């Protein structure tokens, strides 16, 4: 029952979020600001994680491909496919759900309990739209770039660490990452990324917007946003994969 209640309330909030903005120029400025804080602000974290994960994926692949029937360029190929299909869009999105999602929920939650949202409402501003829409728009715009960067760095990390540890040779790896390339996979990945970006920002916005009480509840809202976001991302990952790769 509670699930239906929150689902309904969530969609009602979305309706308000996409209501007519008071002033386009103000929203535009907000979107640029959010691109900077949500997107560019996450770049460092994503870069580090991608390089290391790419390296580990390469080493593990090489470790597992011991059969003489598997050519060694499969290491590069496997690394690329894991990163493009799953690691960058899904795992990085889960990490962003933790970083960006909890950030959004606690920021908006704090604005709720300190009456800043009431102050917006009193001025005649659609507070849901003003606070949440720029974040959704910014994330849906910038996350695909973050994910492409993550893919690139992941494959690069694989190369550097694979060659450095002797897991594969430079020639094999580069040959591997160039073989059997299917452009549709990138399209599939970025579609996932954009859907996840929407989920992360809107669910975190919802949790923050309906915070009530004090600092304790802000903390709880932030935790809830990470939990629900992770679950929703995993479910949507399954759905999109079934539709786009199988169906």
Partner 1 sequence: MIEIKNLNKAFGDRKVVNDVSFVFETGKTNLVIGESGSGKTTILKMMVGLHVPDSGDVEYDGRSFTHSSEKEKQEVRKEIGMLFQGGALFDSLTIEQNVAFPLDMFTEMSSEEKTERVNFCLQKVNLEGRNKLYPAELSGGMKKRAALARAIANNPKYLFCDEPNSGLDPKTSLVIDALIKDVTLEFGMTTVVITHDMNSVMEIGQNILFLYKGNMWWQGNNKEILTTDNQEILDFVYASEFLKQLKPRK
Give the footprint of partner 1 on this chain (CB under 8 A).
22-23, 26, 110-111, 114-116, 118-119, 121-126
CB-nearer residue toward partner 1: 108 or 153? 108
* Dist. CA 205–CA 221, nearest whole Å: 10
- Long-range CB contacts (< 8 A, 24+ apart) of 142-146? 142/35, 142/38, 142/39, 142/40, 143/39, 143/93, 143/96, 143/193, 143/194, 143/196, 143/197, 144/190, 144/193, 144/194, 144/197, 145/39, 146/39, 146/42, 146/43, 146/46, 146/92, 146/96
Q: Which is nearer to partner 1, 25 or 67 (CB)?
A: 25
Going by C-alpha positions, the residue among 58, 49, 56 that lies closest to residue 91 is 49
Minimal distance, residue 210 CB to partner 1, in Å: 15
CB of 125 to partner 1, least distance (A): 6
Residue 229 contacts residue 203 (beta carbons within 8 Å): yes
User: CB-hemisphere CA count at 13 Å for 148?
Assistant: 10
Whole-number minimum distance, CB 95 to partner 1, in Å?
24
Gap between the Cα atoms of 240 and 247, Å rounded: 10
CA distances from 49 to 30, 151, 196, 211 (A): 28, 11, 19, 32
Q: Which is nearer to partner 1, 115 or 182 (CB)?
A: 115
Residue among 114 and 179 whose Cβ is closer to partner 1: 114
Residue among 105 and 195 whose Cβ is closer to partner 1? 105
Q: How far is the CB of 243 from partner 1 (least distance, A)?
A: 37
Residue 102 or 126: the one with the smaller Cβ distance to partner 1 is: 126
Query: Least distance to partner 1 from the beta carbon of 16, Å?
Result: 9
Q: Give the shortest CB-130-to-partner 1 separation in angstroms.
A: 9
- Residue 166, helix vs strand vs coil: coil
């Amino acid at each position: 029952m509670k699930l239906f209640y929150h689902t309904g309330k969530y969609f009602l909030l979305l309706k308000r979020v996409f209501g007519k903005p008071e002033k386009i120029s103000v929203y535009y400025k907000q979107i640029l600001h959010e691109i900077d804080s949500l997107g560019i602000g996450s770049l460092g974290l994503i870069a580090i994680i991608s390089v290391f994960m790419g390296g580990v994926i390469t080493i593990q692949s090489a470790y597992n491909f011991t059969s003489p029937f598997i050519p060694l360029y499969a290491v590069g190929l496997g690394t690329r496919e894991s990163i493009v299909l799953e690691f960058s869009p899904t795992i990085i999105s889960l990490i962003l759900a933790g970083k960006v999602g909890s950030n959004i929920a606690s920021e908006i939650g704090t604005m709720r309990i300190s009456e800043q949202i009431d102050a917006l409402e009193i001025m005649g501003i659609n507070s849901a739209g003003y606070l949440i829409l720029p974040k959704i728009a910014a994330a849906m715009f910038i996350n695909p770039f973050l994910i492409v960067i993550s893919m690139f760095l992941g494959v690069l990390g694989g190369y550097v660490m694979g060659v450095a540890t002797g897991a594969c040779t430079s020639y094999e790896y580069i040959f591997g990452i160039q073989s059997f390339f299917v452009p549709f996979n990138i399209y599939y990945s970025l579609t996932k990324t954009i859907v996840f970006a929407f989920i992360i920002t809107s669910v975190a916005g919802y949790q923050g917007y309906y915070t009530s009480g004090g600092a304790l509840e802000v903390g709880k809202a932030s935790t809830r946003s990470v939990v629900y976001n992770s679950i929703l991302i995993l479910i949507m990952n399954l759905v999109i994969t079934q539709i786009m790769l199988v169906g």
